[in-house]
Structure 1
Amino acid sequence: MTDIVISEFMDEVAVESLRARYDVHHDPELYARPDDLARLIEQVPAVIIRNQTVMRGPLLEAAKALKVIGRLGVGLDNIDMGACADRGIRVFPATGANSLSVVEYVIGTTMTLLRGAYFANAAMLAGEFPKTKLIGREIAGKLMGIVGFGAIGQDLARHARAIGMEVAAYHPRLPADDPAWSGVRRLSLDALLGEADVVSLHVPLTSETRGLIDAKAIARMKPDAILINTARGGIMEEAALVAALKAGRLGGAAIDVYEQEPLGKGAAKVFAGAPNLILTPHISGNTVESNGRVSGLVAEKVMAALEERI
């Protein structure tokens, strides 16, 4: 009888550590076949998922013997936490294990968009040498504005300061005397949007944050500012972002998360023709190293929970 079902990709070393002690069914594409998934998890005590498996409604109800959910990541919007609490199902995210990968994505895309020198392949291959057209900006001295100052936001602040950036953050629930504010300006959202050279989003998707960065919010930003979303789709209005980029009212953007995932051809049309835009498929937290850390941490937590060690 299967003990653990893993419905999305997971580091094989971690999978083998689970198999050494449990009967494991690992299918990285299982999330795309919800009927098969519902059948397989009916009697298992543990499932391990990423963000594509939605443990809500009928799927969660189908897991009649479920005791533990391991989340290969930190976002919990794809899990009905209330229903899990009611049923005594314990949920273990990989808090902190992929922070560095997200931070490096933000810093890397910030540098790319500010410098503006890495989109010249077509011109260079055509025999052009557009040296005077590619005078970009340095990252040092710019203000990094962080919306959501939790673990990842605080890690980003440390790295941004280390490379010479100034840092401001918005987080209404973090007390003003928290040590995390040391060296970081504490601003309202309106003030942060108006002052920051780079705005990076790090809040969960909730009823409060849905549509937080809408057309009015984007209009408050500097016309040469950069917007980066590695948090969740739905926090930022995609059409408003594209309109601002096309109108030259925003300097650039890097988007890793979307209102609809996978994006698909229809949803992708929203972004067509937008300049200075980097689109990636929800991979900011996924690197070889972070996948190993995330998978190892979740595997250990799931085993410890099943064995009642935690």
Structure 2
Amino acid sequence: MTAPKVLISDALSEAAIQIFKDRGIEVDFQPQLGKDKDKLAEIIGNYDGLAIRSATKVTAKILESATRLKVVGRAGIGVDNVDIPAATTRGVIVMNTPFGNSITTAEHAIAMMMTLARQIPEADRSTQAGKWEKNKFMGVELTAKTLGVIGCGNIGSIVADRAVGLKMRVIAFDPYLSDERAVALGVHKVELDELLRRADFITLHTPLTDKTRNIIDADAIAKCKKGVRIINCARGGLVDEAALADAIKSGQVAGAAFDVFVDEPATANPLFGLPNVVCTPHLGASTTEAQENVALQVAEQMSDYLLQGAITNAVNFPSISAEEAPRIKPFVALAEKLGAFLGQLTEAPIKGIRIEYEGAVGSLNTRAINAAAITGVLRPFLSEINMVNAAAIAKEKGITIEEVKSSHEGDYESLIRIVVEAEDMPRHAAGTVLQDGKPRMVEIRWIDMDAEFAPNMIYIRNDDKPGFIGRFGTLLGESGVNVATFNLGRDKAGGNAICLVAVDEEVSDDLLRAIEKIPHVKRARRLRF
């Protein structure tokens, strides 16, 4: 088996590079390549993984050239420089490291708040200029002040914890913050308008979405108490910078501390040059510890995925732990092959797909197995479908997806049954994974079967009448087609029968038509796996 190959196109630590090497992954370290999009597009097709920071832009054009690429790993939390929809369409997992720089970013927000409260940058410039303007720089204490935290997730909760330690009163607006979590953090959960009205300081720690864009605008600022101070170390665009600049000039806002801006690098901004405004160049994650942590974390995550199929902190696919991956992998293969079997038999439009789990398999993380089943069913119709985009494409096409689990064990410890609801009729098949780890088909149309999957197969539905097997075998022999395995099943003597045959080569159209002319054959299909 060829070792996976990873390209690192931004600066990453030697320790992170060594992680890839220690795991048996070939590494190409070109830290300046991310700035050269043409050169990146030229060589990206040679790699299974791409490790980046913020300098590399993974555009749709780059992804078009990334024919081997399986995963993009972003050392850091922001993935604005990756075209997520394009990566998803191509089946490329996009990972980030949301927790590696949490403490560093939270500490920067606290430092910015303290700096703002005591006007330290302006006082420093004045003092170093030989002035002694002690009365000019009158600050405010943080103790007993109210801090409003907008977004109390991973970073926001650390800020809240530190602020509680500073004896501040902390209120938080976050629709996803539970009452129990708020109590544990020692914060009071409020609605946004109440936070604006009560807070002496406001700090933002939320992603930039359509709902959060300009969450602090002119209207919001008007609702704040006069003299509020605003800190943004999260994302540019959460605050209307022009509106904030006007509010600072009018005295409604006493000051602001910003580490992020709408346009970066920020060489000009409405906030620049205003009194009691502190600006830093996106330093939230810029500590030695944080840079090392995210680099090591992304190297481990990418290695786990490329070698084991484990998915951690992916922004476009459910997580699969390193412990789960080996157990799930054979069932993923089974689900995709069962789905592919049914998809190749279905010609009418598909309305729904139901995936049923019986026995031990139902206790596994089935999201990846579901994705594999959907991929298998729809691939005959949609060549661009893959496990990463399968659920989204099914939803887009109006295909309902249903999952049913039962702890009941029948003849097998684990069984997966897929039912495809098409406009003409439902079709279903079931399979299991035996001790050898190979997927097997054990049921078609409620008829018992025991068949391994093979690259080339023939499926026949017929009446259970004497003479069929002889005529079929003779026809294959006369056509020079060698049989690998021959599996039969029927619902009752003389009733409906199914034949599933693995052959050494793809069946020709002429042979398929000849098979269909055999007496009592109802349907014959050529299958590829």
TM-score, scaled relative to structure 1:
0.90
Q: 1:230 deviation in Å? A: 1.5
Of 294-303 and 243-252, more deviation after overlay is shown by 243-252
Of 136-145 and 179-188, more deviation after overlay is shown by 179-188
Residues 118 and 79 of structure 1, relative CA distance in 2, 3 Å threshold = closer
Rounded Cα–Cα distance in structure 1 between residues aligned with 2:189 and 2:278? 28
Query: Is 1:85 equivalent to 2:88 in the alignment?
Result: yes
1:133 partner SS = coil
Which protein is richer in strand relative to its size? 2
**2:274 maps to amino acid:** A
Rounded Cα–Cα distance in structure 2 between residues aligned with 1:138 and 1:63? 54
Show the counterpart of 2:300: 300
* CA deviation map 1:4-53 (0-9, x unaligned): 22222222321233245333233333332211222232231111122343
Residues 123 and 79 of structure 1, relative CA distance in 2, 3 Å threshold = closer
**1:301 maps to amino acid:** Q
Show the counterpart of 1:16: 18
Of 122-131 and 245-254, more deviation after overlay is shown by 122-131
2:251 partner SS = coil
Rounded Cα–Cα distance in structure 2 between residues aligned with 1:8 and 1:245? 38
Show the counterpart of 1:210: 213
Q: Which has the higher contact order (CA 8 A, sep 6+)?
A: 1
Query: Is 1:3 equivalent to 2:5 in the alignment?
Result: yes
Q: After the TM superposition, which residues 67-106 of structure 1 pair with which residues of structure 2 at under 5 Å, given as runs?
A: 67-106=70-109
1:251 partner SS = strand
Structure 1, unaligned runs of 5 or more? none
What is the aligned length? 306
Which of 29, 48, 72 lines up with 1:26 in the alignment? Answer: 29
Show the counterpart of 2:284: 284
Residues 49 and 120 of structure 1, relative CA distance in 2, 3 Å threshold = same
Once superposed, which parts of structure 1, at least 4 consecutive aligned residues long, lie more than 4 Å away? none
The answer to whether the 8 Å contact 1:2/1:25 transfers is: no
Query: Is 1:112 equivalent to 2:115 in the alignment?
Result: yes
* CA deviation map 1:55-77 (0-9, x unaligned): 34222333221111111111233
Query: Is 1:238 equivalent to 2:218 in the alignment?
Result: no
Rounded Cα–Cα distance in structure 2 between residues aligned with 1:224 and 1:63? 52
Q: 1:234 deviation in Å? A: 1.7
Q: 1:146 deviation in Å? A: 1.1
Which of 169, 178, 181 lines up with 1:179 in the alignment? Answer: 181
Query: Is 1:44 equivalent to 2:47 in the alignment?
Result: yes
The answer to whether the 8 Å contact 1:117/1:135 transfers is: no
TM-score, scaled relative to structure 2:
0.54
Q: 1:126 deviation in Å? A: 4.3
Q: Which has the larger radius of gyration?
A: 2
Rounded Cα–Cα distance in structure 1 between residues aligned with 2:248 and 2:239? 14
Which of 58, 70, 84 lines up with 1:55 in the alignment? Answer: 58
The answer to whether the 8 Å contact 1:149/1:202 transfers is: yes
Which of 142, 145, 167 lines up with 2:145 in the alignment? Answer: 142
Q: 1:263 deviation in Å? A: 2.1
Residues 122 and 260 of structure 1, relative CA distance in 2, 3 Å threshold = closer
Q: 1:109 deviation in Å? A: 0.9
The answer to whether the 8 Å contact 1:246/1:273 transfers is: no
**1:129 maps to amino acid:** W
2:46 partner SS = coil
Rounded Cα–Cα distance in structure 2 between residues aligned with 1:71 and 1:236? 25
Q: After the TM superposition, which residues 229-268 of structure 1 pair with which residues of structure 2 at under 5 Å, given as runs?
A: 229-264=232-267, 268=268
The answer to whether the 8 Å contact 2:196/2:223 transfers is: yes
Residues 15 and 223 of structure 1, relative CA distance in 2, 3 Å threshold = farther
1:5 partner SS = strand
Rounded Cα–Cα distance in structure 1 between residues aligned with 2:47 and 2:114? 46
* CA deviation map 1:165-214 (0-9, x unaligned): 11111111334x34244321111112112211121111111222222222
Residues 52 and 246 of structure 1, relative CA distance in 2, 3 Å threshold = farther
Rounded Cα–Cα distance in structure 2 between residues aligned with 1:79 and 1:197? 37
Rounded Cα–Cα distance in structure 2 between residues aligned with 1:32 and 1:127? 43
**1:305 maps to amino acid:** Y
Rounded Cα–Cα distance in structure 2 between residues aligned with 1:100 and 1:191? 27
Rounded Cα–Cα distance in structure 1 between residues aligned with 2:151 and 2:269? 29
Show the counterpart of 2:499: none
Rounded Cα–Cα distance in structure 2 between residues aligned with 1:14 and 1:109? 30
Which of 140, 148, 159 lines up with 2:162 in the alignment? Answer: 159
Show the counterpart of 1:275: 275
* CA deviation map 1:130-173 (0-9, x unaligned): 22222311112121211112111111111111121111111113
Q: 1:294 deviation in Å? A: 1.0
Of 31-40 and 102-111, more deviation after overlay is shown by 31-40
The answer to whether the 8 Å contact 1:233/1:257 transfers is: yes
RMSD over aligned Cα atoms: 2.2
Query: Is 1:194 equivalent to 2:197 in the alignment?
Result: yes
Rounded Cα–Cα distance in structure 1 between residues aligned with 2:201 and 2:60? 38
Rounded Cα–Cα distance in structure 1 between residues aligned with 2:258 and 2:271? 10
